[in-house]
Amino acid sequence: MILEILTPEKNLYSGEATLVQLPGIDGLFEILNNHAPIISALGNGILKFKNADGESNMRINGGFVECLNNKVIVCAEGGSVV
Helices (H), the chain: none
Centroid of chain to Cα 81: 13
CATH dotted code for 2-81? 2.60.15.10
> What is the residue extent of each domain of the chain?
2-81
Q: How confident is the model at residue 82 (pLDDT cuts 50, 70, 90)?
A: low
Question: What pLDDT digit, counting tens, does each position of 48-80 carry?
Answer: 999 999 999 999 999 999 999 999 999 998 766
